[in-house]
Amino acid sequence: MLKVQTGQIVEFYSNSCLVLANGKNFKCKIQGRINLVVGDFVEIEPLMGADNFQALVKKRLARSSILYKSRENKKKPIASNISHIGILVTKSPKTGLDFIDKWIAISINASIKPFIVFNKIDSLEENAFSKEKNIYENIGIKAFEISAKFSTHLNYLEEFLTKKTTIFVGNSGSGKSTLASAITGKEILSRDLSNNQGVHTTSVSTLYSTNDMQLIDSPGVRDVSLDHLEPKKIIRGFAEIFNFSKKCEFPNCNHKNDQGCAVMEALRNGEIEESRYNNFIVLSQKKIK
């Protein structure tokens, strides 16, 4: 029982966490000052004499990926060891294209693959997302149209998620918890399944494992910024723009003046989507100031 075990953090609080090791959940305190986040693999030492499963986190193992977000210039880790980011997009609450583009840029810069989940199609007319779907499929980003609430088209998404570790991100109310619950079959509190304190909003990220996949349900984000990315990294988050930029005549081209700019030319030819270009310019300009 006292032997060191390896496990994974399924929930992280400010100075304690829940670790799943050998099929059991351990409530853990953290030894020393280890930086930890949900998804981390850790070595834990069960506590002697503790009634039920309590342990001490001794060490963090190497991460295959780490996802950061920033707000007001503070960089904060969200999750580690994830392979995919599912960006939830809804008409209500309305998800802006800038929100999608920011998350794509964050994902690419963290070497994590982004994809899009258009949710709540049950309350919309057919093809309500066709414009958005086109924009993103044209740049090679996979997109699913589903209803999490009524499990519509969930089978395609489930197949895609198999053997992956995915975090769902999206505005509060976009259906992340409902979707995680529909896929895993676990009861996860959403806005409808309230606890006795009233309406439920997810407050910490939680990792759910099934036989086929791992999912992380995260709290809703109202705004997300790219402040933690170096200016020159932002263009890499816009892969199609980055590709054209290699052909610009001047190495320090700002992609705003026509002269010799391959990005502007591609924009005129319709090879770069206007919304993508505009969001790129706005986001990269903020950094320069």
Ligand X SMILES: Nc1nc2c(ncn2[C@@H]2O[C@H](COP(=O)(O)OP(=O)(O)O)[C@@H](O)[C@H]2O)c(=O)[nH]1
Task: Using alpha carbons, list the distances in angstroms from residue 14 to 10, 30, 126, 191.
Answer: 14, 10, 44, 24
- Residue 114's binding partner among Zn ion, ligand X, Mg ion, none (Cβ under 5 to 8 angstroms by kind) is none
Characterize 156-180 residue by residue with b for buried, 16 or more Cβ atoms within 10 angstroms of its Cβ, and e for exposed. ebbebbeebbbbbbbbebbbbbbbb
- Across-strand partners of 208? 215
Residue 109 or 205: which CB sits closer to ligand X? 205
Which residues 100-119 are close enough to bind ligand X by CB under 6 A? 119
The least distance separating ligand X from the CB of residue 180, rounded to whole angstroms, comes to 8
Segment near ligand X (CB under 6 A); pick from 29-37, 68-76, 189-197, 245-253:
189-197
The item of Zn ion, ligand X, Mg ion, none sharing an interface with residue 255, based on CB under 5 to 8 Å by kind, is Zn ion
CB of 21 or CB of 78, closer to ligand X: 78
* Residue 39 interacts with ligand X (CB under 6 A): yes or no: no
- Our CB check for ligand X shows the closer of 170 and 237 to be 170
Regarding 81 and contact with ligand X (CB under 6 A), the answer is: no
61 versus 154: smaller Cβ distance to ligand X: 154
Q: What sign does the CA torsion over 181, 174, 115, 42 have?
A: negative
Are 208 and 188 in contact by the 8 Å Cβ rule? The answer is yes
Which 246-285 positions form the footprint of Zn ion (CB under 5 A)? Answer: 248, 253, 255, 261, 263
Stretch that binds ligand X, among 103-111, 171-179, 223-231, 279-287 (CB under 6 A): 171-179
Report CA torsion sign: 76, 82, 85, 88: negative
Q: How far is CA 109 from the centre of its chain?
A: 12
Cα atoms found within 13 Å of the Cα of residue 121, Cβ hemisphere only = 17
Build a one-symbol-per-residue string for 192-221: x at contacts with ligand X by CB under 6 A, - elsewhere: x--------xx-----------------x-
Instruction: Name which of 178 and 279 has its Cβ closer to ligand X.
Output: 178
Q: How far is the CB of 250 from Zn ion (least distance, A)?
A: 7
Chain residues binding Zn ion by CB under 5 A are: 248, 253, 255, 261, 263
List contacts with ligand X (CB under 6 A). 119-120, 122-123, 147-149, 170, 172-178, 190-192, 201-202, 220
Q: Using CB under 5 A as the criterion, which residues of the chain lie in contact with Mg ion when the complex forms?
A: 176-177, 202
